[in-house]
Structure formats: structure tokens, C-alpha cells
Amino acid sequence: MSTDASRHTTLDGLFRARAESHPERVALVDAAGERAEWTWGELAGRVEDRAAELADLRIGEGHRVVVALPGSAALVAEVLALGRIGAVPVVVPPSVPEPTARAVRRFTGSAAPYDDGLALLQYAGDEVGAPRLVPLDHPALARAVRERAGVLGAGEDTVHLVVRPELTVGVPGLLDWLAVLCAGGRLVTGAGDDPDDAFRLVTAERVTHTALTAPLTDRWTTAAAVTAWDLTGLRTLVVSGGALAEPVARRVLPALGCSLRQVFGTAEGLVARTWQEDGTEAALTGRARAASEGHELRVVDHRDRDVPPGAEGQLLSRGPDTVRGYWRSPEHDTRHFTTDGFHRTGAIARTTETGLLVVVRGPEPASGRARAARTVHRLPAPRSRPTRPHRPEGQTEMTPPMFPYVMPTPTMLPADRTGWTLDPARAALVVLNLQNRFVRTLEREAAPAAELLANTARLIDGARAAGVPVIHSVPAGVRRATGRGPVPYARLVAPVAGADAEAFVDRVEPRAGDTVLTARKYSAFARTRLDGRLRELERDQVVILGLYARAGVLMTAGDAWAQDLEAFVVADAVADLCAGHHEFALEWVADTCGAVTATDRVAAAFDAGHPAAEAV
């Protein structure tokens, strides 16, 4: 980007400089349907007209406006027009579910202006509680646009094809598209994820640059081998968003005839990229360095300790290209950022002996719904299938390890739709699957396992003190290695080992007066006498805690609702294999069949005893 452009500290300043320099040159082509094009002068006029329309709607300085448009001329014009009048675009992918879009609108409070210097908010995920929004002020946005122009190799002769696979997190190319424009290049929009359709535009518009995801790169390089379209104008392919398989990378030059750049970034910012000075082989094998000078990268284990070269670990990122936190979301900051400001990218990576970085696997989808939807659920085995031999506790292939994540806090819980009030005189506590088979030894010391077990012990103590019946659900196929009776509860290990671990077991294991059920399905109600036992106890509320949130907890809550019982799921006393499954279960329960609450609230209700019930 030119020295003149580098003087500007706002996106609007960068755009105005380009529009004034070359008003007659084509800036943007919309090839979707009937082809349309805008010169720089025409695009500037469109932005000015849209800014006037927004001002007439009394949108101005500091207002947040949710923008949910696909990669198109309309998106570019809307973002630039909002910036022109000092409003803040809150950019959300058009493919997100409507409840998520509503949550973003509620959270940003678009009607009330803020004087916080923001230029852009980008959606990064729909977790429990407030949405994650990435904030950029005016200098940060201008810097991001200039940096991305360098990553893309964009200049005044660039013709960049916008290829838009519909994703539910972020608008991955938005800053890239703005970077091309502010570098003086031309944008061509209208290409979907069909390679042949995109190749037609590459030929017709003489496209020089484009950016693809790794899966689309695979499809493009396969389709290019048999295409009749002329792709010789294509000079640079940027692959972003995740690890690109080396065989696919090696097909890029023979199939597409262009150079390859690999970039890894998240909605929170650029992280790493391959550099030309490291050679062609580095680009083909994905050996990258930090995105810019002063950017720090670390590969760490689950305790945030650096791992040696060659070992895989979690990728952390800190620097001028990455934000230090989300907009007004301290709970999410605690989970996604370290105390010293490193962003937990969610990617798995390793370093080489020469200090280069290789991203092995990109982050999981940030949306709890998306993660849950991508999970492959095993079907029950046929009845004729031979029974597998019993494995020692904690060593079963059907129980993947629990990955650490942060428990939701009360402020992060989904909104209550029930209006129910927890009453100890009506409630029973149902504890699901807290045996060693489910809480594996190596993971017990990491959050949320220790917190899960500690909250469980606290609630069982509180229930017994308040006279609330305690009901234990134990899977039928789980048993002691020797002897008879239910499998013992998991013991806490470091940093709460020793006497505390034994005290936990003593506190939570079944006692006289407790009920122990043998569960044969995920739900504690299925093929058990739980419903009959609740009637005997004259209880019509169930407080559910334990494992796993998206299976036993979710289905038990649903079955409780089907039997006219009020189900309260304790958000920080249940857990699952990943945060996405946990979030999905809480959202599903809150939306359909029950109330989602927290340990502190339930403990307070139990402490209040029979006379004073407490709303949760």
C-alpha cells in the first residue's frame, strides 16, 4: 500500500484517498446474476447516498448497527457508509441462526450510542451467554487493512475474486476485501463454492488473486485438471482458516498455475503466514512465521507450558494483529485469553527446529450449535454383537478424554423462559455418571473436572442438609473391578488431592436414604423407576447434575418435562467432552424443556430450607 495511504488512520480516510486518486477506474464488479460494475467515483457516490439514508434514520456517531449480508457490493457499501457517519457496523454472517442474530442485536443495544471509539465489531461465536464480538477501533482497523493488503500481495493491478462459502462464524474475507479496495485493486463478487462457476469468472474478469479455505482449495485443484476455462491470469492463491494437506498444496501450481500463500488467522486477528523469503517449500508444507514484526506465538500444553519443537500443542497468539479481549465480555476473555494477553486460537500446532510454525489442525467451530451438529454420534450396537471384554476404569474407547475448558458463570447462562422457582420441599437431586469411567484420571486436575466435582459435592451436602432426596444414576455396564455395588465416585487429584480427595468421595457416595438407580439408556428415566420414586417422595422438581451434558443431562431434562416435572440443570455442575457440547445442551434445555441455573443459586435455595423458596 502506498505511503500516501499509510498516512490515513481510518478506513474512511483510506477509501476516500483511493476514490479521489482514480475516480474513473473500476473498483468493484458484481457478477451475481446480471453483471454490474462500479468505478471508484460511482462506489464513492453509492457510499455517500447510503450514509445520507442512514443519517435520515437517525443513525449516527456511536450507534451499533447489525449487518448480516453476504460478500457483495451491498456489504462493502454498507460497512463503508456506516463508517462515514461514525456508526459501528456489527458484522454477522448471514448464515447464523435467527436466535443468534437476535442475541447479537440485544447484546449490542443498537438504539443507544456509545462513545468508545469503535470502528467495527465482528462476530466470533455464539457461546453460552453474551455473543463474542471482536472490537476494532479506527487505528486498529486501518492497520489491519494495511497488513492484510501485504499478506495478499494486493496492489493497483490486483483483481481479487470473492469466493464465499457460507460459514457461521465471522465474515472471514471482509477485511481482505476492504484491504484490496484500499490498496487500489478491484473486487469481483458473485462466486459461490462451485469451482466451475468460479473458473468462469476468473477467465471473464481476468482475476489475479483469490482466497480460499482448505476444502475449497482441494475442490479447485481437482476441478482445474479437467476445466476448459483459461486460468493463466491467476497469480496468487491465499489459503486461510486451517491446515492445508501437503498433497493438495503441491497440486496448486500444476493445476492453477499460480503461487501459494498460506495464512492462519481467526476472527480475533491474523496469527501466522508463510513468507516468500522462506522459499517455495515452506509455502507447500505450511511452515509459517508470525504475521508481522512484534507478534508472538507460543505452542503450549494444557497447563500453558511451552512444548519442545516437534511436539503438538495449543497455539497461543499475542501481538499488534490480535485483539486483547472481546467487547464487554469479561467471562469470554477469561476463557479465550491468558492472563498475560495471549489469545487461545483453538488450533493445534507444532514448531520446527528452525523456529517455523506448522498448524496441524484448525480450531473447532466457535458456535456450540455448529460443533454439536458436526459430531458423529455412534449408533447402538446390534443385539447380536458380542459383548466386549470389560476394560479397567478410565480406559474405554467409548469415553474420549475430557478437554479442559472454563465453566460458565451465572452471567453467561441462557435466559430463563420458565419462570419456575426452586423449592427444596418439592425438589430431588439427580446425580448422573460421576464414576471414574467418565472422569478420567489424567484430566481430573484440569478445569472443569475439579470444579465439576467440587460443585457436585457442595450440592449433595446442601441437599442432604435441606432434606432434599439424593438420587444416583449409575450406568448398567459400569461396575467395580472387584466386589459388588456401584462404581466409586471419581476422586479429585492435584491440586486438591490427598485428604480432600477422600473427603469428596465420602461426601458424595450413596448413603442410607439415598436412591441408586441402574440406567440402561442416556436418560435417567428410561427403563428405570425414577418417575415412580419421585411420586413416592412427592417431588415434582428435579435438579440435574453430572455427565454428559449433551447426552444424559439433556435427555433426562427432556424426559422430566414430558412427565410434567420441572427440570433445573445446574450449568457449572455438568460437563461434557468440549465446551461446544456443554453450550449446546444448556441452550437446548433453556429453549425447550427446563431452567438452567448455577451452583450458587441452588445452594442458596437449599440453604433457605422449606420456608423460603428462591428463584433460580
Q: Which residues of 295-312 are buried (b: 16+ CB within 10 A; e: fewer)?
A: bebbbbeeeeeebeeeee
Can you give the pTM of this predicted structure? 0.65
> What's the mean pLDDT in 356-361?
93
**399, three cell numbers:** 469415553
pLDDT at 378 over 70: no
In this structure, is the dihedral angle defined by the CA atoms of residues 553, 451, 508 and 604, taken in order, positive or negative? negative
* pLDDT number for residue 259: 95
Name the nearest CA neighbour of 187 among 175, 199, 197: 175
For domain 410-615, give the fold.
Answer: Rossmann fold (3.40.50)
Domain ranges of the chain: 410-615
pLDDT at 99 over 50: yes
Q: What is the mean pLDDT of the chain?
A: 83
Contact 148, 177 (CB under 8 A): no
Per-residue pLDDT tens digits for 563-593: 999 999 999 999 887 777 888 999 999 999 9
More confident residue, 231 or 385: 231
Helix, strand, or coil here: 269? Answer: strand
End-to-end CA distance of the chain: 56
Q: CA 225, CA 196: separation in Å to the nearest integer? A: 11
Q: What residue has cell string 452471567?
A: 411
Q: CA 484, CA 422: separation in Å to the nearest integer? A: 36
Proportion of the chain in helix, strand, coil states, percent, rounded to 5 = 35, 25, 40
Contact 225, 323 (CB under 8 A): no
Helix, strand, or coil here: 515? Answer: strand
CB atoms within 10 A of CB 129: 22
* Cα separation values, 525 from 552, 559, 596, Å: 10, 7, 19
- Give the pLDDT band (50/70/90) at residue 594: very high
In this structure, is the dihedral angle defined by the CA atoms of residues 177, 183, 188 and 191, taken in order, positive or negative? negative
pLDDT at 373 over 60: no
HSE-CB at 178 with a 13 A cutoff on CA atoms is 28
pLDDT at 193 over 50: yes
Name the nearest CA neighbour of 363 among 262, 264, 297: 264
Helix, strand, or coil here: 508? Answer: helix
- Give the pLDDT band (50/70/90) at residue 495: very low
Contact 438, 484 (CB under 8 A): no
Q: CA 360, CA 213: separation in Å to the nearest integer? A: 15
pLDDT at 398 over 60: no
Q: What residue has cell string 472443569?
A: 448
* pLDDT number for residue 141: 94
Q: CA 353, CA 128: separation in Å to the nearest integer? A: 40
Least confident of 8-22, 260-274, 498-512, 599-613: 498-512
Name the nearest CA neighbour of 296 among 254, 365, 257, 342: 342
- Give the pLDDT band (50/70/90) at residue 387: very low
Taking each helix axis from N to C end, the angle separating 246-256 and 214-224, rounded to the nearest 10 degrees, works out to 40
* pLDDT number for residue 209: 96
- Give the pLDDT band (50/70/90) at residue 305: very high
pLDDT at 442 over 50: no
Please give the share of the chain, as a percent, with pLDDT higher than 70. 81
Virtual CA dihedral for 554, 402, 448, 475, nearest 10 degrees?
Answer: 50
Q: CA 449, CA 429: separation in Å to the nearest integer? A: 19
Contact 460, 428 (CB under 8 A): no
Least confident of 25-34, 141-150, 159-168, 312-321: 159-168
Contact 323, 120 (CB under 8 A): no
Residues 6+ apart with CB under 8 A from 209: 152, 153, 154, 158, 159, 160, 161, 180, 185, 234, 235, 236, 237, 238
* pLDDT number for residue 321: 86
